[in-house]
């Protein structure tokens, strides 16, 4: 899998970090020197020394048992903002515009030193980054194949199909969808979750690469590994 993956989502809090960290674990377990990247993190924390702590990046690093030096860490999450809101708004509030050139330069710096990048989006694919740019423009700039993370319950179909259209309209290669449920299924919606995977694959002309059901709180990584087993192999086959 040369270059890496861009993990997009149908919205915020749909399981992108969980899936990105899980795929990072699986890639590294297969001997690939993969590193996580969260180019734009809102809701970040500022440390006393002025450096930023990007929660999604920290989770991915810790899930993969990875430690990195300060220079590398700065490239893994180049644009961090404290307000927990859309990137365009956080950038405006803090007066620091998001620069796609700088993100692309960081991605290149990382790619020269590591085997693969697992890049996580912020929010959904049409989230604004400011100055006319959308998340999907950043994805087009990095030109990595995309995995779309979507819930499987009621409402998922529309969001997933819209996201697939937007990704393809930018010429992005969509490797498939990972269905991830951040809440338990009820007896009433189990049949919907079952069918939505099939409908997304058929109508969206894509593959469901994996399903990650609700795994409780806190989520145990070995169970994520099990549900994502086979996903990296399917991705590698799709990348050939
Ligand atoms: N399959 C699952 N089972 C149980 N909890 C889950 C599952 N997937 C995700 N979660 C939980 O749901 C919450 C949202 O997931 P996550 O942080 O991965 O979403 P996200 O799409 O990365 O959000 P953001 O847009 O903020 O980056 C987290 O608390 C996470 O631990
Ligand atoms: Mg996240």
Q: How far is the CA of 48 from the centre of ligand 2 (A)?
A: 24
CA of 56 from ligand 2 middle (Å) equals 5
> Which bin fits 119, alpha (ψ -120 to 50), beta or left (φ > 0)?
beta
With the most atoms of ligand 1 within 8 angstroms of its CB, the residue from 7, 13, 42 to mutate is 13
Average pLDDT over residues 44-64: 96
Which of 38, 75, 88, 193 is catalytic? The answer is 38
At 240 the pLDDT is 43
Cβ partners under 8 Å of residue 174, min gap 6: 145, 146, 147, 148, 164, 167, 168, 206
Nearest CA residue ID for atom 18, ligand 1: 15
Percent of the chain beyond pLDDT 90? 91
16 belongs to the catalytic site: no
Residue entry with tokens 């050139």: 101
Work out the average pLDDT over 140-161.
97
Sheet with 208-212, edge to edge strand ranges: 34-37, 116-120, 3-9, 146-150, 174-180, 208-212
**For the residues 117-130, what does the mean pLDDT come to?**
98
238 pLDDT tier (thresholds 50, 70, 90): low
pLDDT for the residue 127? 98
pLDDT of 154-187, one tens digit each? 999 999 999 999 999 999 999 999 999 999 988 8
Q: What is the 3-state secondary structure (H, E, C) of 72-88?
A: HHHHHCCEECCCCCCHH
Other beta carbons less than 10 A from residue 173's beta carbon:
13
Ligand 1 centre from 18 Cα, in Å? 6
Tell me the whole-structure pTM to 2 decimals.
Answer: 0.97
DSSP state of 170: T
**Structural contact between residues 178 and 39, judged by C-beta atoms closer than 8 angstroms:** no
The C-alpha atoms of residue 123 and residue 110 are separated, in whole angstroms, by 23
Give the pLDDT band of residue 234 (cuts 50, 70, 90). confident
């Amino acid at each position: 899998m040369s270059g890496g993956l861009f993990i997009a989502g149908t919205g915020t809090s749909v399981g992108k970090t969980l899936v990105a960290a899980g795929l990072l674990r699986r890639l590294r377990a297969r001997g690939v020197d993969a590193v996580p990247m969260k180019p734009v993190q809102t809701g970040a924390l500022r440390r006393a020394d002025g450096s930023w702590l990007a929660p999604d990046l920290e989770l991915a690093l810790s899930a993969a048992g990875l430690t990195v030096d300060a220079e590398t860490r700065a490239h893994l999450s180049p644009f961090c903002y404290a307000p927990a809101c859309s990137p365009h708004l956080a950038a405006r509030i803090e007066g620091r515009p998001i620069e796609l050139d700088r993100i692309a330069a960081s991605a290149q710096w990382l790619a020269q030193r590591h085997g693969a990048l697992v890049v996580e989006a912020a929010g959904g694919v049409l989230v604004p980054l400011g100055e006319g740019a959308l998340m999907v423009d950043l994805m087009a700039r990095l030109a990595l194949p995309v995995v779309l993370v979507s819930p499987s319950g009621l409402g998922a179909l529309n969001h997933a199909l819209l996201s697939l259209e937007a990704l393809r309209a930018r010429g992005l290669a969509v490797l498939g969808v990972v269905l991830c449920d951040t809440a338990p299924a009820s007896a009433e919606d189990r049949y919907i979750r079952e069918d939505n995977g099939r409908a997304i694959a058929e109508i969206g002309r894509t593959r469901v690469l994996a399903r990650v059901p609700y795994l409780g709180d806190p989520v145990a990584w070995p169970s994520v590994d099990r549900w994502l087993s086979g996903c990296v192999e399917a991705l590698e086959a799709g990348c050939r």
